[in-house]
Amino acid sequence: MQYTHLGRSGLSVSRLCLGTMNFGPQTQEDVAHSIMDSAQEAGINFFDTANVYGGKEHRGWTEEILGRWFAKGGERREKTVLATKLYGAMTDRPNDNKLSALNIRRALDASLKRLQTDHIDLYQFHHVDRDTPWDEIWQAIEVAVQQGKILYSGSSNFAGWHIAQAQAAAARRHYTGLVSEQSIYNLLTRAVELEVIPAAQEYGLGILPWSPLHGGLLGGVLRKEAAGVRRAEGRAAETLKTHRDQIQQYEDLADELGHQPADVGLAWLLAQPAVTAPIIGPRTQEQLDAALRTLDVDLDAATLTRLDEIFPGHRTAPEDYAW
């Protein structure tokens, strides 16, 4: 396993982050426990979850599954850099969502209870709160740090401006601020290159790409379609229709390289500036094993250039729109 620092922090994390969103709704608890054991055995020490994961009828379910896994002992918790999130509504009560000081306190304590741990390593804001001032947010986070309940703070789905706002407010308070940002980022979705990644580089945040294979469209969807294994539906089918030629070129390139398309997509992310660890979300042991192959894929400069030609990005950002 390869490791790197999370942004500008001194925290060492694996180059792949285990996303747990499927645990509960799509992956049974015993299978989820087995996947987490295998991930740790492979050297993955970075696990990501959120308080709302588990579905509308059982929010918190995924954290509970992790908590029972930690309770098995064997230093499972000690071997894990644990990240969770808050923001989404857990009930229909008016203060059980977003980033007020009250919700930060309540949501954090509830996550700690579900996760059966005394602290969260990386506590992340699942979305920007447009109604709560940053001084209120940071004061609540500073209290939690002083209480030993969290160590680091991160964001998710923030714009570059939001990161700048958060870091400016933290600097006024002589506080560390954010050390990471979770954004949708993959070969098909590169908007974060415009301003989010430049902001992350300026302020020392590690990028944690979610949906690194764009819901499976970069995982060999045309091969699977031809083999009758999988057919895209809904929004994925519309995206495939729009980008079919690009995806075909991408899969052909993977064939030339002798790699699976998913391996190429993840390896491309690992080669991007500011990226700490793509978040992989395996539903099965086989999907975890496949993701681990990525670490053996080394894309040369010519291949990276070819991928940019197939899926153009924003290489002059943040001045991409200017002359």
8 Å CB contact between 16 and 278: yes
Question: Which residues sit opposite 184 in a β-bridge?
Answer: 210
Count other Cβ atoms within 10 Å, centred on residue 289. 13
Q: What are phi and psi of 125, to 5 degrees?
A: -85, 115
Max CA distance (Å), the chain: 58
> Which residues have C-beta within 8 Å of that of residue 161, sequence separation ≥ 6?
195, 199
Q: Which two tokens stand for residue 165?
A: 């706002």
Q: Between 261-270 and 234-257, two packed helices, what is the crossing angle to 10 degrees?
A: 90
Question: Which residues sit opposite 178 in a β-bridge?
Answer: 153
> Which residues have C-beta within 8 Å of that of residue 295, sequence separation ≥ 6?
1, 2, 15, 16
250 annotated active-site: no
Q: Which two tokens stand for residue 95?
A: 């203060």
Q: Between 101-115 and 134-146, two packed helices, what is the crossing angle to 10 degrees?
A: 40
| Residue 125 CA, distance from chain mean position | 12
Q: Given the residues 53, 87, 185, 203, select the one marked as catalytic.
A: 53
Catalytic annotation, residues: 53
